[in-house]
Amino acid sequence: MDLQRLYSKNAKNMKRSAIRELLKLTNKPGLISFAGGLPDPNVFPTEEIAQITAEVLADEGHKALQYGVTAGDPRLRKTLAKWERTQGLELSEENVIITTASQQGLELISKIFIDPGDTVIVELPSYLGGLNAFTSYRANLVSIPLDDEGMKIDLLRDKLKELHDSGQMPKFIYVVPDFQNPAGVTMSAERREALLELCYKYDLPLVEDTPYRELRFEGTSPPDLLSMDDRGHVISLHTFSKILFPGMRLGWTIGSREIIDKLEVAKQSMDLCTPPFNQAIVLRYMERGLLEPQIERVIGVYRKKRDAMLKALETYMPKDPDIHWTRPEGGLFLWVTFPRKINTQEMFADAVKQDVAYVVGNAFCADGGGENAMRLNFSFPTEEQIPEGIRRLAEAVKARLK
């Protein structure tokens, strides 16, 4: 059968995730991988979950194994609204929809907003899964570079004016404001304010994707965009994937009732509902007050790993004025940039030969750039592997600098 003749334009536009392709090469025994974005499985609370799972089956098995409502278990929606209230937000369960993790939130947002050719503004670099969701609906991505304080708002201001004047207003702006994936940087409070002001001025939705916010190792967080917004422009994506574990595929999206309602309709034809069984388990986990101490445990482990990676970079990377890395105060990643002559795609094979892997910067750059950059993950490798992996990586870099 000639499938190419049959595939939709959207399907033809879908890109295989560069990360998932690269990860296939990294299954080599002995290889130290800084490539994936995986949490450390040693912090998963497996025993507590085993016990709670048995209780859910015994107490409410008939309900938990049945179909559920599309917007999510009302008890979990309520609990999450309450949990967000402890962060200073006045929310009701109608502002919350449970999603099959936050990647589904991105897909749903794309589904309700993007027509082929529509413009979406993203950060440069940005989260690959977000970029792929938007382009699978044939969005035209416009990238705004970021620095250590997040998206450069002066550039955004100019770009919005230009797009406005040419009648190509974006459908929304997408940011990962806290410990960004891939750059590890956090948007400053001033930039958040200015960003919101621009969204108000041009009447644009602002998609805040924040899976890492709770994982702060030091310093204080600027307010989240959702709590700064009093006009219903922000749609905020959350997930249990990094604060608890990703295997149950549970997340939640917060927004105005009107938007949550639309997302619910879009979700009906996507998966009918997020697994009620998983929701019942995580609900009990939260009701027992187990989530907060779990987050503290995760922070403790990742802080040490972040420190180990920064120290190893300092120790092993060649001293070159054009080699820089970000110093994240939380999250799972940091971003390294090299002199122009180092192409991280070309260097990847050398690195795998040295038994170390990373993700090429180009994968995260909607403008096709980032050839001289890479993302490093510090949550998955062990604390012992990190210095050795960075030493191997530095060897590959030194060979290319010669």
Ligand X SMILES: Cc1ncc(COP(=O)(O)O)c(C=O)c1O
* Cβ distance to ligand X smaller for residue 129 or 222: 129
β-bridge partners, 142: 121
Write down the least CB distance from residue 208 to ligand X, Å: 10
* Cβ distance to ligand X smaller for residue 354 or 377: 377
* Cβ distance to ligand X smaller for residue 236 or 337: 236
How far is it, in rounded angstroms, from Cα 137 to Cα 139?
Answer: 6
Write down the least CB distance from residue 203 to ligand X, Å: 25
Write down the least CB distance from residue 176 to ligand X, Å: 4
Half-sphere exposure of 24 (CA within 13 A, CB side): 5
* Cβ distance to ligand X smaller for residue 236 or 239: 239
Q: Is 200 exposed, middle or buried (0-12, 13-18, 19+ CB in 10 A)?
A: middle
Write down the least CB distance from residue 331 to ligand X, Å: 9
Write down the least CB distance from residue 101 to ligand X, Å: 3
Look-up of token digits 């995986």? 38
CA 359 to chain centre: 15
Write down the least CB distance from residue 4 to ligand X, Å: 30
Write down the least CB distance from residue 185 to ligand X, Å: 13
Contacts of 42-46 with CB under 8 Å at 24 or more apart are 42/301, 43/294, 43/297, 43/298, 43/301, 44/244, 44/245, 45/244, 45/285, 45/290, 45/294
* Cβ distance to ligand X smaller for residue 79 or 379: 379
How far is it, in rounded angstroms, from Cα 86 to Cα 98?
Answer: 19
Q: What share of the chain is helix, strand, coil (3-state, %, to 5)?
A: 45, 15, 40
* Cβ distance to ligand X smaller for residue 245 or 338: 245
Task: For 208, list phi and psi in degrees, rounded to 5.
Answer: -105, 115
DSSP, residue by residue, 319-350: --TT-EE---SBSSEEEEE--TT--HHHHHHH
β-bridge partners, 234: 206
Which residues contact ligand X (rule: CB under 6 A)?
37, 101-103, 127, 129, 176, 181, 209, 211, 239, 241, 246, 251
* Cβ distance to ligand X smaller for residue 170 or 246: 246
